[in-house]
Every structure is written in C-alpha cells, then in structure tokens.
Amino acid sequence: MTGGLVTDLYELNMAASYLRRGMTDAATFSLFVRRPPANRGFLVAAGLDDCLSYLESFRFGAAELDYLGRHLGYDRDLLRALERLRFTGDVWALPEGRVALPGEPIIEVTAPIAEAQLVETVLLNHVTFQTTVATKAVRCVLAAGKARVVDFSMRRTHGIEAAMTVARVSAIAGFAATSNVEAARRYGLSAVGTMAHSYVEAFEDDEAAFAAFAADLPAIARARPGRATFLVDTYDTVAGVRAAVAVARRMGLGDRVGVRLDSGDLLELSLAARRILDESGMPGAEILASGGLDEFSIADLVDARAPIDAYAVGTRMGVSADAPYLDSAYKLVAYGDRPVMKLSTGKVTLPGAKQVFRGPGGDVIGLRDEPPPPGCRPLLIEVMTGGRRAGPPEDLGVTRARCAADVAGLPEAARALRAPVGPPVRHSEALDRLTAEVGARLRAGSVRRRPWSG
C-alpha cells in the first residue's frame, strides 16, 4: 500500500489546493478521542506501529497518478507535485499499550500542511480500530483474573487484515495466545487450537474421535508437543468429559489433557467437568470455555467461582461488539507560528502542540514546550523525525508489559467493567491561557467579518 489514494477525496482536494497556493508551512494536527464509549473508564492506545510504517512508505505510484489525471482531471503540474511528495514530518505519540484518556492526544503530526492533511484518514483508521479492540481485550483480561484468555476471533472479524490486527493488539492487552496461525507467525505469538464439532461427528462417537486426535497430535505437532484438548459438548457434555477421561487413561496421557466447553450453562458444566476430572485422578487437566464470551460473561463466571482455566474469546472481542467505534478526531491545532482551534458547539478543540503529563493527581494536558508539573512525567515521545522512525519497531513484549503496568496503576473505579469512573484530566494553566487568547482572537475576527444583516 503506497498510500496516496488510500484516503478520502476531500483530503486530496484540500492538499491540492495547498500545493497550488504554495502553502508549505508546517502544520500540527492532533489525534484524540473526544468522549469514551459506554462502560469505558480508560482506553489503551494502539495502532502506532502501523501508522509509522504507513508514513514511511507514503507516496503516489504511477497507477495512482494516472487515475488522478484521467478520472479526476488533476493537471500535470499538480501530478508532478504529488509524484515528488513524501511524508517528511515529525510525529509525537503515546507508545502503544499506554493508557489514554479522553481529550488527550494519542498522536500529534507536524509536517508541511499538504502532507499532514493527506495522512489523516489512514492514521484515524489505524488508531481508532486498534485502540477500540485493545481496550475491549484488556477488559476481558481484567475480567478473567488469574485465568488465561486466548483469541478465537479470526473467523468473525471484519476482514482478514482486521483479524491480524486483533491478534496483535489482544496480545498487547495480555491475551496468552491466538488461534490465528499467520498472526502467530507474523508477530511471534503462541498459536493454540482444539478441534471442531465436525471432527467429532466424522467418527462414530466422542471416544473414537478423541482417541484418534490424541494418537495423531504428537505426529502432527512434533515441534510443540502439548496437551490434547477435546471438545466435549457435541452430543452430551458430561458424557463427553467421561469419554475424554477414558481416552486419557487408555492412552497413558495422565492429566496432560484438556476439555473445551462451548455451549450450555458453563458454570454448571465446568463444575461437573472439574469434579469428574478430579475424581479420575486428573487434577492437572484443564477446562477451556468458549462460545459467545466477553468481559461481562467472563466476570460472571469468575464471580461464581467457575473452575475454568482459560477463556477463548472471539466475536465480541474481535469487533468490540458493545462499543465498536470511538469518537475520534484529527484536528489542526497550529499552522506556521499561528495556533488555531475550532469553536464549533460541542466540538471545541485545544490549540497548539501538546504534551500529556501523568502524575498521582491525574493527567494534565499541557503545551509541548512547558515543563512537567511537579511529580508528573511526560507521556508523548518523539517517534518519527523527518519522515523516519526515531528507532526500530518496539518489541511486543515491551508493549505488553507497559500495558499491564499502566492498567494496574489505574484506580479501581476506572477498571470497573460496569459504570466505571475515569481518572481526572485537567489542563495546564499555560494551555488554558493559550486557549482563551486564541478563542478571543477568533471570536473578535468573526464579529468584524460578520456581514450587516439590517
């Protein structure tokens, strides 16, 4: 993806106008979330790595330029300008996995205005989707407590690349593994899998299917020998668990097996399965639950002390079913040496390049060049200079550890799954002064320009 046409038409038309008029001063745009969705006391920033890869490769290819000339009528001078155009700007951002709060910049881009304008759509797409899913995935991890959570979402995400992204950001959020084999290869994740009901149905009964699977798995997966997990609810769940025990005993597997519950009353069935496994001398055999799970259903099972060792979460996490989007925005906050802002009702923006400071009293949004308030540390770091990454892509383990630490540091009320209360966010005095000054200037200018209506 070279990126030139991966945008909305109005971005191209605005950029073309800037180029025609010789408007090349640096512009700063701020990407942030206005308001959190319901039941979200915090967000987890994600998508930065894809944004940086996109910016580094941004260009208009020959086929794209031909389309602009033939179908949109762009003239030769404009096409030549676009052919030369690359992203040459600087980017400050929250590192992936960092907790973000409403109103705080997640990414700030400073570049010649045509460049900064053209990349808006892709940056919003990456950050909005990935932050949405990362936040949902963290909530599943919080709900599960000591149990593991694995990604089973690939078949239900909105596209294959979305499935790759979901596997990656769920790993950042703390998921232990994914069923998505290509994502496991691409990102160095653990791949997991059990069996489908079709496999069981292809044999005479549960026991025949489980025996065949247990016999073949060591030869199939020689590089990663592990426990065989049997799907026990194709016919009768309790009978399926007993069949799993019989196969494990006959084949000398000990308790290196697992049973997967995919339907029915997961609390009652997990209690029954645990009792059968323990009475059969298999205390190490694990119970995996799946089937329409999300953080709310997981929390209910954990609160009821269901003896479930791992939860496989699919559709509802992969599309963030209860909150599938964010009220995100990418707004111009400075052009040249002039800070700017919107005054639209309900959508007022903050002027100037900014920084977020985090401390024990909550977050403070301030100006980029002001010193941190006492006891606070700045969160946005410079991740791109002159169109090139400031360093190599971050190891996923580092991102995952950052996410875990940030989430653990949140107040309990912010981590609540229902009716959370987010941490406070305030503005620095310097930012408030600048906002008041710019607002007054713009309002005064609007009054002077208002046409006589008498």
* 183 and 226 housed in the same domain: no
Identify the CATH number of the domain in which residue 298 sits.
3.20.20.70
What mean pLDDT value characterizes the chain? 95
Of 272, 298, 321, the residue that ends a domain is 321
* 179 and 314 housed in the same domain: yes
Residue 222: is its pLDDT beyond 80? no
Identify the CATH number of the domain in which residue 338 sits.
3.20.140.10
- The C-alpha angle 343, 429, 368, rounded to 5 degrees, equals 80
Residue showing tokens 């069981």? 200
Kindly state the average pLDDT of the residues 140-150.
Answer: 98
> Domain for residue 132, yes or no?
no
Kindly state the average pLDDT of the residues 279-297.
Answer: 96
> Domain for residue 28, yes or no?
yes
* 178 and 305 housed in the same domain: yes
Cα distance between residue 430 and residue 195, in whole Å: 59
Whole-number pLDDT of residue 453: 46
* 351 and 399 housed in the same domain: yes
Of 321, 344, 366, the residue that ends a domain is 321
Q: What's the predicted TM-score (pTM) here?
A: 0.95
Tell me the residue range of the domain where 153 lies: 145-191+290-321
> Domain for residue 140, yes or no?
no
Residue 426, number of CB atoms within 10 A of its CB: 16
Residue 285, number of CB atoms within 10 A of its CB: 27
The candidate with the shortest Cα–Cα distance to 286, out of 263, 265, 262, 256, is 256
- Token pair for 102: 């409403």
* 333 and 375 housed in the same domain: yes
* 295 and 172 housed in the same domain: yes
* 248 and 297 housed in the same domain: no
* 362 and 377 housed in the same domain: yes
Kindly state the average pLDDT of the residues 228-232.
Answer: 95
Whole-number pLDDT of residue 454: 42
Residue 217: is its pLDDT beyond 90? no
* 23 and 108 housed in the same domain: yes
Q: DSSP letters of 344-368?
A: -TT-----S-EEEEEETTEEEEEET
* 214 and 317 housed in the same domain: no
- Each residue's pLDDT tens digit, 248-270: 999 999 888 999 999 999 999 99
Kindly state the average pLDDT of the residues 282-293.
Answer: 96
SS3 category, 253: coil
Total structural domains within the chain? 3
Of 306, 321, 336, the residue that ends a domain is 321
> Domain for residue 380, yes or no?
yes
* 198 and 264 housed in the same domain: yes
